[in-house]
Amino acid sequence: LAVIAVILLLVILAIVLGVTLSKRRDDFNSKFMERCQKFKGYNCQKIWDAFQQAYVNRDRCDVPTEAYDPLIATAPFESLCNRMMFWSKTKNVVHDFTGAKDCFKTVEDTLLGSVLNELEWCGKSGSNETFTTGCPKWEECEKNAVRSFWNRVSAAFGDFACGNVTVMLNGSIDTPFSPTSIFASVEVKKFKYPKVKNLNVVLVIQKNSVTNCTNESLKNLTMGLDKGIGYRCFEVPESHLMECGSDPEKPCDVNIY
Ligand code: APR
């Protein structure tokens, strides 16, 4: 009798686990579709299919950035000249700002960026499933599904840059332009003159900020810029950005800084 009870218990556990896992997968797909459908004029089913083919049936640490090429091609960016906002180590403040000021867009405000923002996913070789828990962490391996996606979409966003480009950097740290960041290692390298005319750095300053526009790492930024691209740096108190961000009526030009 005890053996039967144990077997029964195991069967029930397996069913519960199976249902929970498939519910998580459905949740992931629903969230993807729901977020995608907020953007008009795109075929979200086609985008989902292109997304999945990048990582399904692949080792969780062996997803090259190129695997996302078809996905990028399926969901091109809308025209964004003079309105593109890059960032590094300013995740919250930049998104509070672009969320309120419709004129500036980060990659997380575009279709692919917003659909996959804050999500976790991976595949497994020999399986056609999408897993949404237990995936490698950012630092665990370089070619994990999530990190490769952000590297790929950021390269595309950098490639797409045109006109006056803005980047929000963190004035509260020693190295606002960190060589290992996606902004430094992927995006800046894609800025090409004359398509990109000028780079505006908004250095976000807090009360105890240690950094200003003369920071050494910013010199590296200017030195690495494609010849011909202009450069300006603004030290902007975070409180000022909050005000601008919270007032959608304020105009959308350099004066916002
Ligand atoms: N561990 C976990 N997550 C990380 C790590 C890490 N070591 N490094 C980066 N990330 C993820 C986090 O989600 C983090 O918020 O990448 C995000 C951005 O990292 P930052 O170092 O703040 O900035 P950066 O690497 O420059 O990436 C931001 O890339 O997403 C594009 O266009 C966007 O310009 C922006 C840039």
Give the per-residue pLDDT at 254: 47
Burial (CB count within 10 angstroms: exposed 0-12, middle 13-18, buried 19+), residue 70: middle
For the Cβ of 164 lying below 6 angstroms from any atom of ligand 1, the answer is no
Q: Model confidence over 125-169: pLDDT tens digits? A: 999 999 999 999 999 999 999 999 999 999 999 999 999 999 999
How much distance in Å is there from the Cα of 4 to the middle of ligand 1? 52
Percentage of the chain lying above the pLDDT 70 cut: 91
How much distance in Å is there from the Cα of 190 to the middle of ligand 1? 17
Residue 252: pLDDT band with limits 50, 70, 90: low
How much is the average pLDDT of 187-215? 95
Q: What are phi and psi of 57, to 5 degrees?
A: 60, 25
- pTM, entire model: 0.90
How much distance in Å is there from the Cα of 244 to the middle of ligand 1? 24
From the CB of residue 148, how many other CB atoms can be counted at a distance below 10 Å? Answer: 22
Q: Whose CA is nearest to atom 15 of ligand 1?
A: 91
> Is the pLDDT confidence value at 247 over 80?
no
For the Cβ of 157 lying below 6 angstroms from any atom of ligand 1, the answer is yes
Q: What is the ipTM of this complex?
A: 0.95
For the Cβ of 181 lying below 6 angstroms from any atom of ligand 1, the answer is yes
Q: How far apart are CA 144 and CA 84, in angstroms?
A: 27
